[in-house]
Structure 1
Amino acid sequence: MNTAPNIHAMIVAAGRGSRFGAPIAKQYTMLKGQTLLEHSVARLAGSTYIDKCLLVVAADDSTAQTLNFALPIYYAIGGAERWQSVQAGVEAIIHAGAAATDLVVIHDAARPAVPSHDIDQVIKAAMLEPYGAILATPVTDTLKEAQYQTHIQSIAESKSIGETNPHYYVKRTIDRNGLWQAQTPQVFRVEQLRRVLAYVAEHNLIITDEASAFEHLALPIRLVTGSRQNIKLTYPDDAILLAAILTAQSQQP
């Protein structure tokens, strides 16, 4: 008997991307002739495990259904916070027939360059886990903790060096040993994700990704090393890097 879980893909695209500073929602930024959202769906389509995708969009979204996607698409309406959008997506997946032990693959619309091989690898890892697995990369940069000072007497200040952020100074270097930078997709057991998101709602917690919800309950989520090409469009400069990555990937055999 085949006991492999069914795989349900979800892209959360209900946010506005305020840090990106564009007049349109970030997921509709154009790169190489397609929106970020179309690129990201195409990456999921490259996985051997995924044959359709749920898009969680804002209630007033009038763009998503005008696009051309590489997978069959169905929709759910998101909430004010990311975790609320994921929660709405989980309920839609369950309503569509997902079993408790099935896996839900959650990807950011703003990560259009994730290699499809990485998607398969994190799904394979999650199949072996009771709760799930996420793509991530070990931190390699030197990390500094900052401290805020209202004034400093220095030659540098008088010459306006660093004037774009003049009041933050290095407090200490953070030991990067054991630190990882989270990516998506993040893959979880359907019912376990539903349970931890209910806990987040009940306790009014602030989380920055789905794995954070599991951390609050000390539930282990496996880390799977992902590609450093899988960057997220957050600031305008990121678009230049992503365009270069997508071009390079398209030229690979």
Structure 2
Amino acid sequence: MAVSVVLVGAGLGLRMGGSVKKPFLPIHGKPIFLHTIERFSQTDVIGEIILVVGEAEIQFLREQWQDVLDACKVKKIVAGGKKRQNSVYNGLCQTRADAEIVLIHDIVRPLVRKEHIEAVINKVRESHAAILAAPMKATVKEAGSDLRIQRTVPRNNLWMAQTPQGFKRELILKVFDQFQDVDREFTDDAQMVEKAGYPVYIVPGTDENIKITTPEDMRIAEALLK
């Protein structure tokens, strides 16, 4: 069963500060995007990786990293769109037509484990749509506009969505086509699939699979990757 991966990294990364975008920040001498790519390229069942970045970064990647990317199953580098869902769609359209499963992953999650990648793939084979998620550990409070607590939300069935999120290719393209002209921003790909009425299942992950957003996240990732 052919598996394609869309790695999404076309955002501005403004919360990190500085002039270098998040995917290109180094951790232990290697840019974040390369740490992430290697996690997927080392998974045997994955046949190709589509890299989605800002249009301004495409030439730089081709000039500086093409040989490394070729060795890591990166088949295409695609420009992102205005919103995340536009960037994902651009990448999905470039996946192989014979791919049966597509994984969508944030390129700034370099700590995803190989066994979790494989677990998501296996769950998609069974159920058509699955995401990696970590169980909620914190006590969650719901508050009003005045910040007065309204209730404590039971956390037993609460999960923190992560990536990769995996889908049968035919399904995810159908769903993206359905919402192509809808003026709404979806926070993740599974939300779009849920909205279309299809079931999505959770594959339990860990808190280590962080999305690097702030300088504090960088320090955590450096410690974990060490």
**TM-score if structure 2 supplies the norm length?**
0.90
Structure 2 partner of 1:141? 138
Offset of 1:209 from its aligned partner? 0.7
- Which amino acid counterpart does residue 135 of structure 1 have in structure 2? L
Q: 2:15 aligns with which of 19, 43, 54?
A: 19
CA distance in 1, matches of 2:41, 2:93: 22
Give the Cα–Cα distance (whole angstroms) in 1 for the partners of residues 135 and 105 of structure 2. 19
Match for 1:78: what amino acid? G
Q: What is the CA-CA distance between 1:63 and the residue it aligns to?
A: 3.3
Q: Which runs of 5+ in 2 are unaligned?
A: none
| Residue of structure 2 in register with 1:80 after alignment | 82
Deviates more, 1:24-33 or 1:69-78: 69-78
Query: Do residues 228 (structure 1) and 207 (structure 2) align?
Result: yes
Matches within 5 A, 1:126-137: 126-129=124-127, 131-137=128-134
* 43-52 vs 176-185, which moves further: 43-52
Q: How does 1:110-189 map to 2 (within 5 A)?
A: 110-129=108-127, 131-149=128-146, 168-189=147-168
Q: How many residues align?
A: 220
Of 33, 43, 66, the residue aligned with 1:47 is: 43
How far residue 212 of structure 1 moved from its aligned partner, in angstroms, is 0.6
CA shift digits 1:54-77 (9 cap, x unpaired): 101221114333233451322122
Note the C-alpha offset of 1:173: 2.1
Return the TM-score normalized by structure 1: 0.81
Quick one: which amino acid aligns to residue 201 of structure 1? Q
CA RMSD in angstroms, aligned pairs only? 1.7
* 1:59 corresponding residue in structure 2: 55
Shift of 1:51: 3.7
With over 3 angstroms needed to count, the CA separation of the structure-2 counterparts of 1:199 and 1:235, relative to structure 1, is: same
Render the CA deviation track for 1:206-243: whole Å, top value 9, x for unaligned. 20111010111121011001122111101111111111
Equivalent residue, structure 2, for 1:204 = 183
**Following superposition, which runs of at least 4 residues in structure 1 exceed 4 angstroms of deviation?**
none
Percent identical pairs in the alignment equals 32
The 3 A distance-change label for structure 1 pair 145 and 48 is: same
Alignment counterpart, residue 103 of structure 2, candidates 90, 105, 123: 105
Q: Quick one: distance in 1 between partners of 2:18 and 2:61?
A: 17
Whether 2:24 is the aligned partner of 1:28: answer yes
Rounded to whole Å, the distance in 2 between the matches of 1:123 and 1:22 is 36
CA radius of gyration, larger in: 1
Query: Any gaps of 5 or more consecutive residues in structure 1?
Result: 150-167, 248-253
Secondary structure at 2:112 match in 1:
coil
